[in-house]
Amino acid sequence: MTNAPLAASLSSFSWLQIVRLGLVQTALGAVVVLMTSTINRVMVVELALPAVVPGALVALHYATQILRPRWGYGSDVGGRRTPWIVGGMAALCLGGFGAAVATALAAHHTAAGLALAVFSFLLVGMGAGAAGTSLLVLLASGVEAGRRGAAATIVWVMMIAGFAVTAPLAGHFLDPFSGARLVAVSGTVSLIAFVVALLAVTGIEPGRAGAMPSPTDKKPAFRAVLSQVLAEPAARRFTLFIFVSMLAYSAQELILEPYAGLVFAMTPGATTKLAGLQHGGVLAGMLFVAGITVFVGGPVFGSLKVWTAVGCALSALALAAIAAGGPVGPGFPLRAAVAALGFGNGVYAVAAIGSMMALAGRGGEAERGTRMGVWGAAQGVAFGAGGFLGTLAVDLARLFASEPVTAYASVFAAEAVLFLVALVIGLRVEHVTLARRNPLTQAAAFQFNPGFDAR
């Protein structure tokens, strides 16, 4: 191997290139927010369908995330990530447009509309999985260690920007509402999102082609690669960490506002502001970690492992405080506790994503997509299950509790325990050596990362 390809493989993305890749997340968020908010509302309000219908469709979208390892393996075999990002965004945007068409069709032909909606949400889930997984792998390949926290913050915040910009603009153009207007707005958003994503990735990967194995090389089968990844103690533990922590992260999503209304007598407007305060805390936590890791750094302040543990601990403490504040009632500073929860969640989230980027490269480029796909699947399934299990746990607890406050407090306390369990698992991940690797993968790991320890 010549020095030139090796140099290319070790080159890192500039801040501008990281922002360009973040635009893919912005485009992805712009399409997804119409699925989870606008189309959800239209189905329930304008079409008078049961709330379980859009709920089941969103759950279907999350269920497809289990396919992320296969999409990641496909990008490993193909030798490049960009085609999977572009192809995934094409499927996502087509599915988003199809969901709007399905909603408009359901107003006149319910069965046909729902059948198209099922297909469209499946397409959205698969497209988001394929594009999102390959995007994170590309970032993992090209972002140096000291920038991973900041890079994770950038792509996450830019995805939120996609939510924040698209929702009000789409809402403006949807009035006065009609099915045709919904189709037009969704089609416009999908088209713009695809073009933005396409321009964002154009020309960003060819200069890094030396980091990838040749597509003509014989590759092991998907099951063999997946089994090899899951056989590694570190990969298994990190997968478990992602699942447990994301379960704790998402379980409060659908129960916090009802809790604030029932126990603290907050109005709907006040609980909506409470959710906004939490999201603001998440953003503050992300920016805090990004700033500390880039501008302070060092073995402690620059360690994503440390910040992942801190984020889990802060989230657990905030959830315990929210649970303990229930019996106190309206006099408890709930807003401060919720802001602290958001901050802890933000610290955890950005550090965990940065750690995911770092650990994805442990086996070299030859299996990096499969590895990232496994963790993406754990994240997606846990996030989808968390909201449902949180509400189910409250309903079950209310069967045995005489007061709603007891039921809700018990669930928040259980979430705090989950974050502590995730903290313990996360601290143990780095102490496990990646052993039992096959010689081909060890050679590839050394070739692409001379500092790799294949003990």
pLDDT the model gives residue 435: 37
Give the lowest-confidence range in 68-72, 232-236, 329-333, 450-454: 450-454
Judged against a pLDDT cut of 90, whether residue 309 lies above it is answered with: yes
According to the model, what pLDDT value does residue 5 have?
A: 37
- Give dist(CA 79, CA 73) in Å, integer: 10
Identify the band that residue 186 occupies on the pLDDT scale cut at 50, 70 and 90.
very high
Mean pLDDT, to the nearest integer, of 39-47? Answer: 85
Burial class (CB in 10 A: 0-12, 13-18, 19+), 165: middle
pLDDT at residue 286 above 70? yes
Q: Provide, rounded to the nearest whole percent, the portion of the chain with pLDDT above 90.
A: 35
Provide the pLDDT for residue 45.
Answer: 80
Distance CA 5, CA 117 (A): 46
Whether the pLDDT of residue 432 is over 50: the answer is no
Question: Is residue 341 over pLDDT 60?
Answer: yes
Quick one: tokens of 62? 């999350």
In order of 85, 288, 332, 356, 401, the CA distances from 150 in angstroms are 21, 9, 35, 13, 44
More confidently predicted of 89 and 401: 89
Rounded CA separation 288/278 (Å)? 15
Smallest CA-to-CA distance from 1 within 220, 213, 218 is with: 213
pLDDT score of 365: 61
Task: Give the pLDDT confidence score for residue 11 in this predicted structure.
Answer: 60
Categorize the per-residue pLDDT at 209 as very low, low, confident or very high, splitting at 50, 70 and 90.
very low
- Residue 266 is predicted with a pLDDT of 83
Binned at pLDDT 50, 70 and 90, residue 361 comes out as low
Residue 443: the pLDDT is: 30
Contact 148, 304 (CB under 8 A): yes
Summarised one tens digit per residue, pLDDT across range 385-428 is 887 888 888 888 888 887 888 988 999 999 999 999 999 998 88
Long-range Cβ contact pairs of 100-106 (< 8 A, separation 24 or more): 100/34, 100/39, 100/182, 100/183, 100/185, 100/186, 100/187, 101/183, 101/186, 103/39, 103/42, 103/43, 103/47, 103/179, 103/182, 104/179, 104/180, 104/182, 104/183, 105/179, 106/43, 106/47, 106/49
Is the confidence at residue 8, as pLDDT, over 70?
Answer: no
Residue 143 has pLDDT above 90, yes or no: no
Question: Cα separation of 269 and 207, whole Å?
Answer: 51
Q: How confident is the model over 59-83, as pLDDT tens digits?
A: 888 889 899 998 888 888 877 899 9
CB atoms within 10 A of CB 112: 12
Domains of the chain, start order: 1-209 (1.20.1250.20), 221-450 (1.20.1250.20)
pTM reported for the whole predicted model: 0.75
Of residues 447 and 375, the one with the higher pLDDT is 375
Of 370, 373, 422, nearest in space to 243 by CA: 422
Highest mean pLDDT among 56-65, 261-270, 357-366: 56-65
Residue 449 confidence (pLDDT) above 50: no
* pLDDT of 450 strictly over 50: no
